[in-house]
Structure formats: C-alpha cells, structure tokens
Structure 1
Amino acid sequence: MQNTRLNNLFDAIASRLGQWFLNPWRRLSLLIISFLFGFFVGNAVSTTAGQRGFLDIVVAAFLVVLTEFTSRIFYSQSFLSRRSLWVDSLNFLKVGFIYSLFLEAFKLGS
C-alpha cells in the first residue's frame, strides 16, 4: 500500500493501542470483558434460536464449527510463544459462550 496520511494515522493508532494494552491490568480487563460478552452472546443465541424451533440443528452445527475453528486458531500456535491479544480475547469469548450454553442446558434439564 501507499504511504498516505490515512495509513500513517491507522498505524499510529494501532501501535498506541498495542502499547496501551501491554499493561497487565488493562489486558486482564479486556479479557474479562470478552468473557462476559461471550456469555451474553451465548444467552442471546440460545434464546433466539430456540424461539423458531425449525433451524435448531443447523444453528447448532454452525456454532460447533465456529467454536472448533476458534479452538484451532488458539491451539495451533506454539505453547511457549506469547499469544497476541486478539487470539486470547477470542478464546475467552469462546469460553464464555460455551459456559453460557452449558448453563442454559442445565436450566432446561432441571
């Protein structure tokens, strides 16, 4: 790409955000927010997919493929290398999503 002012602006914003999230407390807070957002998405998906009732199997298959794809992204890197922030936040989002679906299943089973 060309070295335009807009590209320089986006590069500067991305580098400053990267430096800002190097603080461990900010990183932890972003990971907790992504976990809670995944929990919210899981609740929203389970209630909206259960309302119609005729696409349950298709939605469940899509969600399984989506969670497996995010697991493949997270676990494909080497264990000792430091993971990037977006991969960690994607994994926390997935964990919150799966946790929410388990809680919904326990509520329906009881």
Structure 2
Amino acid sequence: MNKTKLAQWVQCFIYRISNTCNTKINTLSLSILYMLLGFFISNALSTIPGQTGDWGIIAAAIIVTVYERISQYTYPLDFKKGVSQVFVNRINYIKIGILYGLFVDAFKLGS
C-alpha cells in the first residue's frame, strides 16, 4: 500500500517531535539562566559599592580577582579529573554573564 502525503507528514512530524525530545534543551535553558544570574551579580556588584564612591576601585579589583581565579580553575593546563565538567561549565556561564553585565554598565555610564 502506498503512503499518502498525510501519512508521510504525520511520520515526519512524529520523527521531529522525537528528535526534539532527545536534544539537550535543558542544557540550553540552564546556560541562559546562569548567564542571567551572572548579569544580575554584575549589576549588584557594580551598583552597591558605587553608592559611596570610594569603593569603586576596591570592588573592581575584587571582581577581576574572582574572575581570574574562576578562569584559572576553568582553563588549567592539565584538567583535573575530579572536577565535574558540568559544574565548570555552569561557573563559566556565570562568568560570561558577569562580563556581559559589566560591559552593559560601562555603556550606560558612557552615554
């Protein structure tokens, strides 16, 4: 028996739905969530110490130090097998969000 166009369409639709369910959409959602968390952290870190005006340089030094320490653990020369790669990726997404938030704050101050 020949397949009709409707049967082919339904089969294609079911195939695409099953492939969508098997993808790692949760990984994408979590990465976006962690980037937004990093963006929120950077906004909090850049506005709270800046209220007094004298903590700006100290806050920037702390942010850069923490940022570089995270990079040191994320990109070592010999990757440690005891550290979970998922945990390192999540910390890296938070770091990317912090960097993005600091760039946005710099553009807000520059305009």
TM-score of the aligned structures, taking structure 2 as reference length: 0.69
Q: Alpha-carbon deviation of 1:102? A: 0.8
Q: Deviations over 1:31-75 (max 9, x none)?
A: 111000001111111111210111111111111000001111111
Gaps (5+ residues) in structure 2? 1-22
Structure-2 residue corresponding to 1:57: 57
The Cα RMSD (Å) is 2.0
1:1-110 residue pairs with structure 2 within 5 A?
24-76=24-76, 84-110=85-111
Which is greater in Rg?
A: 2
Counterpart Cα distance in 2 of 1:109 and 1:38: 22
Counterpart amino acid of residue 27 in structure 1 = T
Counterpart Cα distance in 2 of 1:77 and 1:86: 18
Counterpart amino acid of residue 109 in structure 1 = G
Aligned residues: 86
TM-score of the aligned structures, taking structure 1 as reference length: 0.70
Gaps (5+ residues) in structure 1? 1-22
Q: Alpha-carbon deviation of 1:78? A: 5.9
Counterpart Cα distance in 2 of 1:104 and 1:78: 35
Task: Determine what percentage of the aligned residue pairs are the same residue.
Answer: 42
Q: Alpha-carbon deviation of 1:92? A: 0.6
Contact 2:43 2:101 in 1 (8 A): yes
